C-alpha cells in the first residue's frame, strides 16, 4: 500500500512541475487511464473469484500408526518401514474402528 501512496505523490509532484513550466504531460488522456483502471480491477476480480470458488485443499487421510501389543511385540519386524508403507499403500484403506473388549470381573 505504501508503494501506491508514494507513486501517487510522485505523480502529483511531477504533474505540478509540468504545469508550472507549461509542458504538456506525456500521460495518456484521462479516459484511457479510467479504462486501464477497469482492466486492473477486472483482473483482480477474476483472481478473487477463483480463490473464493476453489475447493479447499485435501487433508491427509493417513491413519495413525498401530500400537504393537501381545504377540506382535514378540515377533521381529520384517522389512524396513519403506516396504511396509509400500505394502500398505497398495491395499485400500479400511475404516478404522476402535473396539474395547472387557472381561467379566471375578467375584472371588
What pLDDT, on the 0 to 100 scale, is given for residue 13?
Answer: 92
Give per-residue pLDDT as tens, 15-57.
899 999 998 888 888 888 899 889 999 999 999 999 888 877 7
- For the record, the C-alpha cell of 63 comes out as 491413519
- For the record, the C-alpha cell of 18 comes out as 509540468
What pLDDT, on the 0 to 100 scale, is given for residue 10?
Answer: 92
Note if the pTM is more than 0.75. no
| Mean pLDDT calculated for residue range 65-79 | 58
Q: How would DSSP label each residue in 37-86?
A: HHHHHHHHHHHHHHHHHSPPPPPP-PPPPPPP-THHHHSPP-S-HHHHHH
Closest by Cα among 41, 92, 36, 27 to 63: 92
Amino acid at each position: 500500500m505504501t508503494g501506491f501512496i508514494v507513486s501517487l505523490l510522485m505523480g502529483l509532484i511531477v504533474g505540478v512541475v509540468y504545469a508550472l513550466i507549461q509542458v504538456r504531460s506525456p500521460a495518456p488522456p484521462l479516459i484511457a487511464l479510467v479504462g486501464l483502471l477497469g482492466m486492473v480491477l477486472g483482473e483482480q476480480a477474476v483472481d478473487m473469484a477463483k480463490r473464493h470458488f476453489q475447493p479447499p485443499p485435501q487433508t491427509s487421510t493417513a491413519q495413525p500408526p498401530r500400537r504393537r501389543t501381545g504377540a506382535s511385540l514378540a515377533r521381529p519386524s520384517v522389512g524396513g518401514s519403506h516396504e511396509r508403507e509400500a505394502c500398505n499403500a497398495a491395499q485400500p484403506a479400511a475404516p478404522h474402528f476402535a473396539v474395547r473388549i472387557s472381561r467379566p470381573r471375578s467375584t472371588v
